[in-house]
A and B are shown apart, each in its own frame.
Chain A
Amino acid sequence: MSLDPVQIWKEIRESGIGISLLGIFIVGGALINLIAVYAGLSTLIERKVAGHMQARVGPYRVGPHGILQWLADALKLMIKEDVIAKDTDRLLFRLAPYVVFAGSFACWVALPYAPGWSPANFNIGILYLLAVSSAVVIGILMAGWSSGSKWALFGAMRSAAQIVSYEVPVGLTLLSMLLLYGTLDMQQICYAQEKGFLWGIFPEMNGGLWSWGINRFPPFTLIAFLIYYVAALAETNRTPFDIPEAESELVAGYHTEYSGMRFSFFFLAEYANMFIVAAIAATFFLGGWNPPVPTIPSYFLFLLPGTLIGAGFGYVLKKRGFDAVVGAVIGSGLAVLAAVIVLKGGAPGDHFLDSDSPPIAKFVGGAFWFSAKIFFLLFVMIWLRWTLPRYRVDQLIDLCWKKLTPLAFVNLLAIGLFTTVPAWWPRLTEWVKGWGH
């Protein structure tokens, strides 16, 4: 090895490692901004949905219909004073928000956003996700202990106990689905849901909705989905399982003593975690980026955004005599036209998942369906939060260990049997015939 700096610099330039490092930083920066914007928007959605469910309007002052409220909130959190109480363990107190945030941020790089589009594609995909997200528990315990406050400590203990307990049914349901897919790679799991039909009949058939994991072995896969969703709800400390931050008992749980930017890191991590569990549910049970209908021409994917943009134009131009419906029609027409022009490389009308369709169509189509499923699951989470009352601690632990875990075990056994017995069937019949003679 030569230690000549000129030589080393030359080698670094030639090997292209600088470009790949730059790529890492660009992708990481883009993802962090994506998380920030997503978390901001989902707080807005949460408050708006809550408002309408409770027959009020929700945030309405900042921007039209209050749609800029999240920017104001973010600004407020950024300029707030960062208070550190006297009894805290300063090092751990400062470190904890980053540990929690890093735990959830590291998961975002391994999600299958579109066919072939993952920031980092691992062959151990789901194992990596489960492993890295365990940093969140440590961060929560760190925050609770270092705060020097009993509310924070109780909140942290409850939260950690809850997350660790509910990881058991989560792991078992994911394991039962892995029996079907036979791979840990998140992209491969999505590809496996492209084809197949109920109970494994017509394995080569592209059934759209019927090829998704949730419909593979009804009712067992459906049960697995429900167990996963309930357990994931508990893992993210959402209502009705939000006893770690039960306002009426514990002030705010493990982040009671945090303020300003450090508090917002916990906040971001919480919403990022919701996204991750919804993304895993969408990947494992709802087909990932697969559309619900077997074949959709590529350019139709531009219909919905086009309609929305057109509706926006129509709304703006309403006073000049245009109607929102006219705007929507014009917008969607323009969008389809643009899509046909953009997608000229592939024949228009082809399925966006075809191997020869252009990458932009793959990305737009895959990302659209993937995020649509995630946002539907997030909406259900919000819906449940404003509908159900909170569980007690003993009820929560009871639900996990006495109901969900045994059910998940039975389910695992059933899916295991139904996936292996058909393969053994010929051998079994032969054996029975031989035994008769």
Chain B
Amino acid sequence: MGASDIFLNALFYLFAVIAVAGVVGVAASRNIVRSAFALLAVLFSTAALYALMKADFIAAAQVLIYVGGILVLIIFAVMLTHRITDVKISNESTPGPAAFCAVVCLLFALVVIILPVPDPHHNKWDAGRGPEAKRYENSDYTLLQFQADGKTGLALGGGTFEDEAVVGIRADKWPDDALRVMVEVVPSEVVTREDVEKMIAAHAPEEAILRVIKERGSTALSPDDLAALTKAGASDSVIARMQASVERAQLSEPIAKNEPQVLVRISKLKERKYAWKVKVVGGDKDLTGWMSYKTDGADFEVHRGVTQPIAFALSRQYLFAFEAISVLLLAALVGAAFLARKEVMDR
């Protein structure tokens, strides 16, 4: 874990503590206006957590909608009630059993969130990809997905890895005609760091260009590649893995000459730190250089602003927790309506 990870983790815990403290403030405050203002801390720190997940758009939308809209509405509603300066309505009147049930549900949801849930769609991308693909069936790989826009020639991104290695690249045409590139990154237990170094040494001292899709029909590493690899002392497993990644990188349909091609470059930044970049050549515009992205830290810069990782996490890994929380929120809504009704009846 690098220094930037420590820093990001510190930020995460800071905002998480603020969020939890805000929630406690919302629940425990005797004064309803103070509860509303404590909600401000919760909403802002949640937005900060989104920003730490590189989901800038969701963070901004969260602040815009919840702080700028809903929170203002809540505070307005509270202030427009009569005797605004001494509002004493609070959650003291919550019945004990309901509170107990809510706490149990919340704890259950927390446990569900913390426990890792196996992803049922884990190997969807590898279906029917040959025997090599099945090799990683049970390994815990991360799938990074990029959209390559053949029209502008703009693509993609890269990142650095310290404890991870790129093992596979695949490009697919999706039904909406967009070319999407998937990069598989596995922890170094699966592909050791020595293997990666050998891969790099096999091609060039400084950098290795793994040409994933060359032209139509290139389903295998060329004899030159193989010779270079063997000369550099790459083991059979490394060669097999590179072969697999080249195979997997085939487009589902054969590509025409002018269609964009996907290239992957692995370069060594410094000791124990490699950078990988993906780009598209061809298409309407030809790029002469690699897309430059800041690659500092073990940080996948390309995820910035992309909401897909969150969607993936919510709809796969944490699907059950997501559903449980939605049920809990529904219960809370019904409970709130119940409490409000009771307040009127007391008068």
Contact = CB atoms under 8 A, between A and B. Distances in A.
A141 B79 contact: yes
A135 B4 CA distance: 29
Contacts of A16: 296
Contacts, number: 89
Contacts of A145: 33, 75, 79, 84
B67 to A, nearest CB: 5
A57 interface: no
Contact of A127 (B1, B64, B79): B64
Size category of the B interface is 20 to 34
B257 interface: no
Contacts of B69: 134
B37 A92 contact: yes
Contacts of A123: 56, 304-305
Interface string A1-40: 1000000100110111100000000000000000000000
A360 to B, nearest CB: 23
A164 B72 CA distance: 8
Contacts of A89: 34
A157 B75 CA distance: 10
A153 B79 contact: yes
A160 B61 contact: no
Contacts of A132: 63
A362 B57 CA distance: 29
A127 B57 contact: yes
Contacts of B44: 135
Contacts of B1: 1
A99 B76 CA distance: 18
B149 to A, nearest CB: 13
B233 interface: no
B64 A130 contact: yes
Given A138-B67, A145-B33, A145-B79, A124 B4 contact: no
B90 to A, nearest CB: 15
A265 to B, nearest CB: 18
B3 A128 contact: no
A122 B7 CA distance: 21
Contact of B3 (A8, A141, A148, A164): A8
B75 A134 contact: no
A122 B63 CA distance: 16
Contacts of A130: 60, 64, 68
A124 B56 contact: yes
B6 A8 contact: yes
A128 B58 CA distance: 10
Interface in B1-36: 1-7, 33-34
A242 interface: no
B302 to A, nearest CB: 12
Contacts of B305: 123-124
Interface in B44-72: 44, 56-57, 60-64, 67-69, 71-72
A167 interface: yes
B79 A122 contact: no
Interface string A194-236: 0000000000000000000000000000000000000000000
B297 interface: yes
A12 B3 contact: yes
A110 to B, nearest CB: 11
A99 B296 CA distance: 32
B4 A17 contact: yes
B63 A134 contact: yes
Contact of A92 (B34, B56, B296, B304): B34
A172 interface: no
B297 A141 contact: no
Interface string B72-88: 10011001000011000
Contacts of B7: 17
Contact of B60 (A14, A124, A142): A124
Contacts of A79: none
B209 to A, nearest CB: 27
A161 B79 CA distance: 12
Interface in B284-299: 296-297
Contacts of A127: 57, 60-61, 64
B2 A153 contact: no
Nearest to B64: A131
B60 A137 contact: no
B296 A138 contact: no
Given A8-B3, A130-B64, A138-B72, A15 B79 contact: no
A122 B34 contact: no
Interface in A127-185: 127-128, 130-132, 134-135, 137-138, 141-142, 145, 148, 153, 157, 160-161, 164, 167
B213 interface: no
B40 interface: yes
A137 B68 CA distance: 8
A141 B296 contact: no
Nearest to B31: A89
B71 A138 contact: yes
A131 B69 CA distance: 10
A131 B60 contact: yes
Contacts of B63: 131-132, 134-135
A128 B84 contact: no
Contacts of A167: 68
Contacts of B62: 131
Nearest to B73: A164
A74 to B, nearest CB: 30
B79 A157 contact: yes
Contacts of A148: 85
A148 B85 CA distance: 7
Nearest to B65: A131
Contacts of B304: 123
A59 B44 CA distance: 42
A1 B6 CA distance: 9
A146 B152 CA distance: 54
A160 B76 contact: yes
B92 to A, nearest CB: 19
B84 A153 contact: yes
A14 B71 contact: no
Nearest to A18: B3
Interface of B: 1-7, 33-34, 37, 40, 44, 56-57, 60-64, 67-69, 71-72, 75-76, 79, 84-85, 296-297, 304-305
Given A15-B4, A142-B37, A160-B75, 20 more contacts: A11-B2, A15-B296, A17-B4, A92-B34, A92-B37, A124-B56, A127-B57, A127-B60, A127-B64, A130-B60, A130-B64, A131-B61, A131-B67, A131-B68, A134-B72, A138-B71, A138-B75, A145-B33, A148-B85, A153-B79
14 contacts: A14-B3, A15-B2, A17-B7, A17-B297, A92-B34, A99-B40, A124-B57, A128-B56, A130-B68, A138-B40, A141-B76, A145-B84, A157-B79, A164-B72
Question: 6 tightest CB-CB pairs across the interface, nearest first?
Answer: A134-B68, A131-B63, A131-B64, A15-B3, A1-B1, A11-B3
